[in-house]
Amino acid sequence: MGGPAAHGGRIIVVPAPDQPPFAHVVYFEPRIPGNTGSAIRLAAVTGARLHLVEPLGFDLSEAKLKRAGLDYHDLAVMEVHPSLDAVLGALPDARVFAFSTRGTTAYTDVAYETGDVLLFGPEPTGLPEEVLAHPRVTDQLKIPMLPGRRSLNLTNSASIAVYEAWRQRGFDGA
């Protein structure tokens, strides 16, 4: 039976799908366990791979994380990395799209490719400037919102982006 397992300093939720992921969802220093649990569920139902960048604002054994992920934990692939550079080093050829309310390119204006990284910041602050300016960031993307609104929920934002990338790939595997 699958579940969290330590592997080379990272935690991987197994079993891994046989096919490579169409996208990598990266949560930079997530704070709310329920959002991460929902992201595990998102990864399980789409085939995207979830990466968490430490420090985490919760313990992976928290009940809220497990409750939000329901029984999908064994169907998702998730890795925990000690830094952003560690996760990007593990994905050396991937394009990196940082999602930000300050982005200038609409998430729908990108032609997504297999293996792209969709990078999201912590609740409630979003990605810090030093991450947005990282040399591996290909572009800063935005999800349109009405004026005067601060932000969408983290996993809602990730879901919008993941489904657009997957739609462009013809919903491979569905």
> Domain with 40 in it: what CATH number?
3.40.1280.10
Q: Which pLDDT band, with edges at 50, 70 and 90, does 1 fall under?
A: very low
143 labeled binding residue: yes
Residue 108 has pLDDT above 90, yes or no: yes
Q: Which pLDDT band, with edges at 50, 70 and 90, does 2 fall under?
A: very low
Closest CA to 26 of 53, 62, 46: 53
12 labeled binding residue: no
Rounded average pLDDT over 114-128:
95
Closest CA to 46 of 68, 23, 70: 23
To the nearest 10°, report the CA torsion of 23, 111, 164, 24.
10
User: What stretches of the chain show up as alpha helix (H) in DSSP?
Assistant: 33-46, 63-69, 84-90, 129-132, 154-168
In a domain? residue 173? no
What is the layout of strands, in order, in the sheet containing 96-99? 4-7, 10-13, 78-81, 49-53, 23-28, 116-120, 96-99, 137-142, 105-106
3-state SS, 64-85, equals HHHHHHHHHHHHCCEEEECCHH
* Token pair recorded at residue 84: 């952003």
Residue 98 has pLDDT above 90, yes or no: yes
In a domain? residue 115? yes
Higher pLDDT: 24 or 69? It is 24
Rounded average pLDDT over 35-47:
91
Q: Structurally, how many domains does the chain consist of?
A: 1
Query: How high does pLDDT run on average in the chain?
Result: 86
In a domain? residue 159? yes
Q: Which domain holds residue 104?
A: 4-168
pLDDT of residue 60: 79
In a domain? residue 61? yes
In a domain? residue 50? yes
* Predicted model pTM: 0.87
Rounded average pLDDT over 53-69:
76
For residue 146, the SS3 value is coil
pLDDT of residue 9: 42
In a domain? residue 25? yes
Rounded average pLDDT over 1-18:
44
In a domain? residue 146? yes
In a domain? residue 32? yes
DSSP state of 11: E
